[in-house]
């Protein structure tokens, strides 16, 4: 039985896993995630998705409509955010429902602390 509202659950990350990464891996991962945030449009997208209530799905089209960019440009930004590990998309019929990777902000915060301080 298919639910009426499609909520995006998917993958999540755990800040505790950071301790197992090598210092070198930490730096690379931090640089990668930072690249994801290195454009105001992408900050806005992550912000949007991070503040969505769980029961409210966020479809690609909603994101496009909320931004003053062409659909193809938004799609490119979404791709960067997916590749750098900030968001994930679940296909729902002809649509794609996007959400942030679970706990990614806390993960990023922990990664900064571990990468910039310590050792």
Partner DNA sequence: ATCGTTTATCGTAGATGTACGATAATAAGG
Partner DNA sequence: CCTTATTATCGTACATCTACGATAAACGAT
How far apart are CB 53 and DNA at their closest, in Å?
18
User: Could you give the string, one character per residue 32-71, with x where binding to DNA holds by CB under 7 A and - elsewhere?
Assistant: ---x--xx-x-----------------xxx--x----xxx
Is 93 among the residues that bind DNA (CB under 7 A)? yes
Among 38, 54, 66, 70, binds a copy of itself (CB under 8 A): 38
Distance set, CA 96 to CA 8, 19, 42, 118 (Å): 10, 33, 17, 40
Write 46-51 long-range contacts (CB < 8 A, 24+): 46/81, 46/86, 46/87, 46/100, 49/87, 49/98, 49/99, 49/100, 50/100, 50/105
Is 115 among the residues that bind a copy of itself (CB under 8 A)? yes
Beta bridge partners of 97: 59, 90
Report the residue number, 17 or 116, with the smaller CB distance to DNA: 116
Summarize as ranges the residues that interact with a copy of itself (CB under 8 A).
27-28, 30-31, 34-40, 42-44, 46-47, 50-51, 105, 108-109, 112-113, 115-119
């Amino acid at each position: 039985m298919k639910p009426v509202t499609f909520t995006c659950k998917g993958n999540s990350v755990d800040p505790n896993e950071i301790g197992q990464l090598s210092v070198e891996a930490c730096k690379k991962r931090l640089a990668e995630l930072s690249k994801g945030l290195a454009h105001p449009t992408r900050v806005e997208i992550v912000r949007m998705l991070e503040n969505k209530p769980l029961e409210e799905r966020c479809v690609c089209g909603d994101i496009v409509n909320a931004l003053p960019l062409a659909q193809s440009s938004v799609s490119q930004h979404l791709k960067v955010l997916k590749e750098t590990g900030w968001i994930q998309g679940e296909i729902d019929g002809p649509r794609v429902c996007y959400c942030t990777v679970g706990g990614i902000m806390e993960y990023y915060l922990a990664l900064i602390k571990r990468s910039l301080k310590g050792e």
